[in-house]
Structure 1
Amino acid sequence: MTDSRAALDVNSALFAGDDPILDVQNDLLNRDRLAKVIADEVQRMNADRGAVVAITGRWGTGKTSLLNLTANLLREEEVIQVVDFNPWFFSGTDHLIRFFFDEMARQLSSERSRKKRLQDSAASIAEKFNRYSASLSPLKFIPGAGQILDAAQKAAEGVTQALESSIHEQRLEISEALGNLNGRIVVLIDDIDRLTRQEIRDLFRLVRLNGSFPNVVYILCFDRGVVESALGEEGLDGAAYLEKIVKTSIEVPPAADYALASILQNGMHSALADVETGPLSEDRFPDVFWQVVRPLFSTVRDIKRFLSSLTLAARAVGDEVALPDLIALETIRVLRPTAHDLIAQSVDALTTVHSWQAQNRNQRLLATHATEISSLLEALPEGVGGALIRYVFPAAQAHTDNMWFGHESAQAWRRDRRVAHAAVLRYYLHQEFPEGTALAGQVDALVNAIQDQEEFRRVLSVVPAEQLEDALDRLLAYVDSVDQEQISSAIIVLLELFPRIREEQVGMYDFGGDYTVLRLVNQLLRRVEAGNLDLVARSVWNATASPYARLRFLTLAGRQKEGATEESLITADLEAEFREELKLHVKTASSEVLSQERELLRTIVQTVDCDGQSGEFAIREAATPSVTARILETALSTARSNSLGSVVVRSEDRLPWEAMVSVFGGEEQLITAVEGLKGHMGEADRSERLQRALLVFDQYVTGWRPREF
């Protein structure tokens, strides 16, 4: 639309729920032109024997809005008296007839609404309608009052006079008075298609019986299919019956595609103007909008229903869900709720990335997922379902287009906050992330800071420890954006994170907290140009104080262990230099340093020569209580197992006994050091992990060993 009314704000009629428009200022479809045509026709048409005009259209096409615009124009005419008749206030044929004439009389006699030019005539006609209504029954229902009143007062006025003349004579009097009216009365009746079938038949009997009054024009609003079906009962041809009553009709034209699209786009812009949302994904949004969203809208009412909840939905998910996906899923939720329910039931089918290799795929799982995807496609219009899969849930193309995606794609979907990733889809559906999930804003801050070492360090410091692993995991998708010159500074900061990362595994398939740091460091290292690897490695090494961090860095940059055949990223000479320096560092480090070191036992065993038969400590401070305690803590591991078909997981704490003996130069030295630790550190001063390690240690001393280790 090019009309200035397309520039909407949140106070416009588009955001007023499902209410029809009341005036031309909120006419989004330029229906005012059609309203002028109808109003002009009502004034010019021959109404010597009355007239009935029908405004028809499907639910939501804007019949009431068009009627309101037409009524506004008619009310401006001095020779037109508009009467609004609400059929919802009656029940039963007799009540309907009485209420109709009462309402006609009331509105015609109203000083507020009566036209000056018709004042005398209208008042006279109103009196005749009153008498006619009174003659139909000695009792009159007062709508809205909820009670039947004795019409004693009427007996002295209308009823007594009614008895003096027949109903037929009164109709003739009314007809004569209306025929002499220098203008016409227009009766508006809306929402006919929302009445019960019996009420629809009653209403059209009323119109048929009274539609011949001269200079009275009825404008009826209804869905033709609904009314014809209701009138078609009792052996009647509904369409034929309707044709006998309605002489002039106009079908509300469907909104043009371009007009609906413009209204929808402007409405979304206004609804989301002050809301923080997820990324727009400009390269994907046009396809999502035109192929998934737009085809689901048929009327402005559809748009109103959608917009009325869009702002709330956007505020609820914040910036955690990509905007195209949010709009697509909210459209389906509002307009195709059954399909939305199927999406909620098919999270795995829509997001699971299967193996590239056919022989490694779970065929039973694939078949289950394919059935779920098929059900979803059937719940959406043709074309929309396929587009939804292509542009919103691409992993499901394995079932529709034989297209397969890998884990790198899933990583990119998570980065872009697309519901194609299970975590994002579940967040949209449940509006909460599992414990430990970093917020999108935190990840964005890390991405923006990674090029600046101090800022990167500062932003990481404010990420809660329980969310750190997830934040680092999601940062993987942005590795390629780091400048070559900033790789070493980023790695240095990452290696400083080990003290904040959990040490123990939390499940059978957990790789450990260190994995999130190491995977990111590894990806960064592999982006360094070959000629610069030694330079970057030395820069990182010199800036890293922790022996454990140095060991893990060396594991990534060099061979995993001395003598291995794997290709090293750094030169052999530099690796040898690093290993010797690390060995000396660990052997001579102070107890203060070692007692705070992560994975101390592993660090000692993998860097220093250890011999369980030598009778000598592998490191100088091994028997210092704080160092012994740290060796025990970092030695503790938990073996987990479960029986086939059972969800119960059994756990058992264990110690690498031989490795510990080798560090202390023998069992006796180990036992002596641990006993010294117990005497030095009371139970109240021991960490929970150390206390567990000591309990297991005592079992090992007795000769107990686990069945498998």
Structure 2
Amino acid sequence: MDSQDVHGFASDRPILKIKEDLLGRSKFSKDLADAIAGWHGKDSLVVALHGDWGSGKSSIKNMAVANLKSLTENRPDVVEFSPWEWAAQDKITASFFQEISKSIGRIDKSKSGKKLSATLKKYGRYLNTGESLVTGLSAALPTLFILATLVGVGGNFSGESWVKTVSTAILGLLAAWAAALKWGKGLLNKLSGNAEATAKEKEQSLSDIRQELTSLLSERASSLIVVMDDLDRLTPGQLRMVFQLVKANLEFPKVVFLLLFQRDLVEEKLTDGKQLGRDYLEKIIQVPFDIPKIEVTLLHDLLFSRIDQVIKQDKSAAEMFDSGRWGNIFRGALHAYFDNLRNVYRYTSTLSFHFSLLKGKSVFEVNPVDLIAIECIRIFEPEIYKEIARSKDIFTKSSYSGDKKSREAITSLINGILDKASTNKREHVRELIKQLFPAIEWALNGRQYADCFSKRWLREMRVCHPSNFNKYFQFSIPKGELSNSDLRDMLSRTSDSESFSSFILLLMERGILKNALSQFESFTDEIPLGDGYSYIKALIDIGDKVDHKYMGFTMSSSNMHAVQLAVCFLRRVDNSKERGQLLLRCFQNSDGISIVENILQHDENSRENSETKILLLDNEFEEIKQEFVHKLDRMSETNPEMLITHEHLVSFLYRWKRWGEEDKVVAWLKAQTANADGCVNLLKGFVNNSSSQTMEDSVAKITSYIKLKDIENFIEVEPIASAISNIDEQKMDAQGKEAIKLFTAALKQREKGIEDDWPQI
């Protein structure tokens, strides 16, 4: 691959040299070259090379030309002409002889070669003059029609023969005038130039020039081979012009035409009401050849070789590559799309480009097998690709338990998308989608997957997981998502608690922590058990620093995700006593409290509900509870300001009161609320938030409130109301002002006999 073409964008271009042949077509090319080089007949020979789009016609032609040029005896002169390049300018005939003449002049410097070149040029001028005249007359027909009508009317007024004679003469003069107006100087100069050149050439007739060409070509030892490619790109009119040029004007000895085109396309263009295109071609083409069908195994070997080159660009992608899945996907679906060279080259060049966009800082960002499959859909089934890209929720929902009507609607929608596939590829697309998106297999008469599979799909960076999906369609890391490189970096830091906790706090600064912790849960099984202390301690360290509030029943906080990460890892420690001792040791050596509080609360609930799957044994459970109370006791004495302003204050108070000494907790709270500032700090902790959303709302409405009964679980509210009654709210921060406002609103509600009925403001 050219260093300037790293993705192989130019690979779709025909090969130029025999040594570039990878599919065993060089022998056919040589045989074709030998066959046409041996033609020395008195008439021209027209050979056609048929092949479908992407079958390699031009590559075979290039190899055949290379073989012709390598001959040592009777080497023919090869001239290539592309009518398609001149078609838009309507100069096919003119440019043909001009290009042939120039080529002969370059190839053959002998006296006879120069003479042949000059004679061909002469011949082209004669034919070109006629073509220009016909074209010009066609352009002037509207004008001539008007003139003829006017003159014709005048002639009809008289029956005298001299009047009609004069009318005809006038028509001729007017026609010349119309030509001058319509064609302009260019054409008239061209016509006069050709006439002058013809006069200088001893006033030879067209027949004389043809005879001269016949004589010159007959005397040559080698033949003249004219190659015309891409004829199937021409319009019907242009095609007929080319074939007429070949048969009517170039019937000369030792001349061979090699015409390349897709047969069915050309036949269709040449078919009209009078004649079938196939019959037309049979009168022109004397020797038709078809491109030999390429062995599918060779095509696939080329495809595999180029995909291997792409994957080797990234070491981590090579390590992630699952050859078993690849084999199933290729044999089940992808193979159907690679039946010609152009598809192979077109596909692998864009795959290489998109592959380069998904290289991460340390690892590849998506599953390489899924990327290979998605790219196939993008290239060959663009409608399917577009529909999948905008149907993320449907294709990535790990389970579906809706009613029969809802399931039928989803099934109908999925089948409607798949019906957009190419007619002869629908079953292959269906199989491919089932393998890429197992979550919807149930809708395609397959199995239904449990939620537990989702973690595996995330670890493997599969397109079927919602956290990975957009990467395959945006070719970048979507905002708010954690990259695979970040996840792997995170995993590598679990052996160092400071490094791991610093990384988590950095993710919080980036605003992606909640999603990052949720994604990392799928990687818990990959954390070495030996990293247990550093990993659990780091989670406890950061637990009090990350967000802990959440609205509704489904939106977890970063704190709760951290709790889940700790629990998932601890359950991997089979020995229950070791598990509890590990948690206790981490807790004793950390300043964090909230993570362990949540673990203890969950285990306490499990005990109260007589659940058997508890995390901690009784002894370890009691030891950790005592350590929790001890930490709060110590904080209340040494740093009461930190505790009263702690994000988790209210939660701590409930557990401190239940697991510790209630009187100590109440006494401490009364001391903290002896002044207005302390009261405001306490009220801030009791502010709650809830979300609500109706069908008409585009976003959820957030409501803040304070429940007086929550405060009264610890102390009376009247002293607090009295302490803040004369407070200067202008000196309060925004949170303080909101807390006072909500507390005052709750008091007013109570006065009306309404107890904690929110929203209150």
Scaled by the length of structure 1, the TM-score of the pair is: 0.87
Once the two structures are superposed, the pairs formed by residues 308-319 of structure 1 within 5 Å of their partners are 308-318=349-359, 319=364
Q: Is the 8 A contact 1:320 1:417 kept in 2?
A: yes
**Structure 2 CA distance, aligned partners of 1:170 and 1:489?**
96
Change in CA separation of 1:262 and 1:463 when aligned onto 2, cut-off 3 Å: same
Of residues 644, 647, 665 in structure 2, which corresponds to 1:598?
A: 647
Q: Is the 8 A contact 1:10 1:270 kept in 2?
A: no
Q: Is the 8 A contact 2:223 2:254 kept in 1?
A: yes
**Structure 2 CA distance, aligned partners of 1:90 and 1:511?**
67
After superposition, what is the alpha-carbon deviation per residue over 1:122-151, rounded to whole angstroms, capped at 9, x for unaligned?
322223323323333548879xxx964525
Change in CA separation of 1:441 and 1:632 when aligned onto 2, cut-off 3 Å: farther
Q: Hey, what does 2:739 align to over in structure 1? A: 693
After superposition, what is the alpha-carbon deviation per residue over 1:467-509, rounded to whole angstroms, capped at 9, x for unaligned?
2222221221122233444334422211222233223326674
**Structure 2 CA distance, aligned partners of 1:620 and 1:474?**
44
Q: Hey, what does 1:75 align to over in structure 2? A: 69
**Structure 2 CA distance, aligned partners of 1:684 and 1:441?**
47
Q: Is the 8 A contact 1:417 1:424 kept in 2?
A: yes
SS of residue in 2 equivalent to 1:150: helix
Once the two structures are superposed, the pairs formed by residues 643-682 of structure 1 within 5 Å of their partners are 643-644=694-695, 646-647=697-698, 649-663=700-714, 665-672=715-722, 674=724, 678=727
Q: Hey, what does 1:150 align to over in structure 2? A: 190
1:88 aligns with 2:63: no
**Structure 2 CA distance, aligned partners of 1:448 and 1:12?**
32
1:493 aligns with 2:538: yes
After superposition, what is the alpha-carbon deviation per residue over 1:240-280, rounded to whole angstroms, capped at 9, x for unaligned?
22122222222112332222222223323434554587542
Asked which structure has the greater CA Rg, the reply is 2
Q: Is the 8 A contact 1:492 1:540 kept in 2?
A: yes
SS of residue in 2 equivalent to 1:58: coil
**Structure 2 CA distance, aligned partners of 1:450 and 1:282?**
30
Identify the range of structure 1 (537-546 vs 599-608) with the bigger mean alpha-carbon deviation. Answer: 537-546
Of residues 532, 537, 560 in structure 2, which corresponds to 1:515?
A: 560
- Please state how far the C-alpha of 1:294 moved relative to its aligned partner: 3.4
Q: Is the 8 A contact 1:393 1:419 kept in 2?
A: yes
Of residues 119, 134, 146 in structure 2, which corresponds to 1:128?
A: 119
Q: Hey, what does 1:535 align to over in structure 2? A: 581
SS of residue in 1 equivalent to 2:482: coil
1:222 aligns with 2:261: yes
After superposition, what is the alpha-carbon deviation per residue over 1:639-688, rounded to whole angstroms, capped at 9, x for unaligned?
2223355446333211132121332x212233345569x56xx75662x4
Q: Hey, what does 2:466 align to over in structure 1? A: 422
**Structure 1 CA distance, aligned partners of 2:632 and 2:606?**
17
- Please state how far the C-alpha of 1:434 moved relative to its aligned partner: 5.5
Q: Hey, what does 1:65 align to over in structure 2? A: 59
Q: Hey, what does 2:152 align to over in structure 1? A: none
- Please state how far the C-alpha of 1:450 moved relative to its aligned partner: 2.3
**Structure 1 CA distance, aligned partners of 2:283 and 2:24?**
32
Unaligned segments of structure 2, at least 5 residues: 134-184
Of residues 438, 445, 448 in structure 2, which corresponds to 1:394?
A: 438
SS of residue in 2 equivalent to 1:638: strand
One-letter code of the match for 1:71?
V
Q: Is the 8 A contact 2:707 2:746 kept in 1?
A: no
**Structure 2 CA distance, aligned partners of 1:362 and 1:276?**
46
Q: Hey, what does 2:147 align to over in structure 1? A: none
**Structure 1 CA distance, aligned partners of 2:492 and 2:89?**
73
Of residues 255, 277, 284 in structure 1, which corresponds to 2:325?
A: 284
- Please state how far the C-alpha of 1:194 moved relative to its aligned partner: 0.5
1:299 aligns with 2:348: no
Of all paired residues, the percent bearing the same amino acid is 21
Q: Is the 8 A contact 1:498 1:549 kept in 2?
A: yes
Identify the range of structure 1 (180-189 vs 215-224) with the bigger mean alpha-carbon deviation. Answer: 180-189
Of residues 17, 30, 33 in structure 2, which corresponds to 1:39?
A: 33
1:199 aligns with 2:238: yes
One-letter code of the match for 2:566?
V
Identify the range of structure 1 (391-400 vs 429-438) with the bigger mean alpha-carbon deviation. Answer: 429-438
Identify the range of structure 1 (42-51 vs 375-384) with the bigger mean alpha-carbon deviation. Answer: 375-384
Q: Is the 8 A contact 2:439 2:449 kept in 1?
A: yes
Q: Is the 8 A contact 2:508 2:546 kept in 1?
A: no
- Please state how far the C-alpha of 1:47 moved relative to its aligned partner: 2.7
- Please state how far the C-alpha of 1:461 moved relative to its aligned partner: 4.3
Change in CA separation of 1:52 and 1:104 when aligned onto 2, cut-off 3 Å: same
SS of residue in 2 equivalent to 1:331: helix
**Structure 1 CA distance, aligned partners of 2:7 and 2:410?**
43
- Please state how far the C-alpha of 1:624 moved relative to its aligned partner: 6.8
After superposition, what is the alpha-carbon deviation per residue over 1:332-352, rounded to whole angstroms, capped at 9, x for unaligned?
212222221232243333222
Q: Is the 8 A contact 1:505 1:513 kept in 2?
A: no
**Structure 2 CA distance, aligned partners of 1:585 and 1:209?**
105
SS of residue in 2 equivalent to 1:16: helix
Aligned length: 684
Of residues 601, 608, 618 in structure 2, which corresponds to 1:555?
A: 601
**Structure 2 CA distance, aligned partners of 1:291 and 1:252?**
28
Q: Report the aligned-residue RMSD.
A: 3.4
Q: Is the 8 A contact 2:58 2:229 kept in 1?
A: yes
Change in CA separation of 1:276 and 1:375 when aligned onto 2, cut-off 3 Å: farther
After superposition, what is the alpha-carbon deviation per residue over 1:608-650, rounded to whole angstroms, capped at 9, x for unaligned?
15989x9855575454777644432332111222335544633
- Please state how far the C-alpha of 1:420 moved relative to its aligned partner: 0.7
- Please state how far the C-alpha of 1:604 moved relative to its aligned partner: 0.5
1:346 aligns with 2:391: yes
Change in CA separation of 1:230 and 1:273 when aligned onto 2, cut-off 3 Å: same
Q: Hey, what does 2:448 align to over in structure 1? A: 404
**Structure 2 CA distance, aligned partners of 1:432 and 1:537?**
39
Change in CA separation of 1:91 and 1:428 when aligned onto 2, cut-off 3 Å: closer
- Please state how far the C-alpha of 1:160 moved relative to its aligned partner: 4.8
Change in CA separation of 1:365 and 1:100 when aligned onto 2, cut-off 3 Å: same
Q: Is the 8 A contact 2:79 2:226 kept in 1?
A: yes
**Structure 2 CA distance, aligned partners of 1:13 and 1:350?**
30
Q: Hey, what does 1:115 align to over in structure 2? A: 108
**Structure 1 CA distance, aligned partners of 2:606 and 2:439?**
39
**Structure 2 CA distance, aligned partners of 1:458 and 1:495?**
13
Once the two structures are superposed, the pairs formed by residues 147-296 of structure 1 within 5 Å of their partners are 148=187, 149-150=189-190, 152-161=192-201, 163-165=203-205, 167-210=206-249, 212-271=251-310, 273-274=312-313, 279-296=320-337
Q: Is the 8 A contact 2:577 2:616 kept in 1?
A: no
Q: Is the 8 A contact 1:618 1:662 kept in 2?
A: no
- Please state how far the C-alpha of 1:57 moved relative to its aligned partner: 0.2
One-letter code of the match for 1:103?
E
Change in CA separation of 1:596 and 1:458 when aligned onto 2, cut-off 3 Å: same
Q: Is the 8 A contact 2:365 2:483 kept in 1?
A: yes
**Structure 2 CA distance, aligned partners of 1:274 and 1:422?**
26
One-letter code of the match for 1:544?
S
Of residues 48, 54, 70 in structure 1, which corresponds to 2:48?
A: 54
**Structure 2 CA distance, aligned partners of 1:159 and 1:273?**
69
Change in CA separation of 1:365 and 1:316 when aligned onto 2, cut-off 3 Å: farther
Unaligned segments of structure 1, at least 5 residues: 1-6
Q: Hey, what does 1:575 align to over in structure 2? A: 621
Q: Is the 8 A contact 2:434 2:444 kept in 1?
A: no
**Structure 2 CA distance, aligned partners of 1:423 and 1:547?**
30
Q: Is the 8 A contact 2:562 2:595 kept in 1?
A: no
1:16 aligns with 2:10: yes
Change in CA separation of 1:526 and 1:256 when aligned onto 2, cut-off 3 Å: same
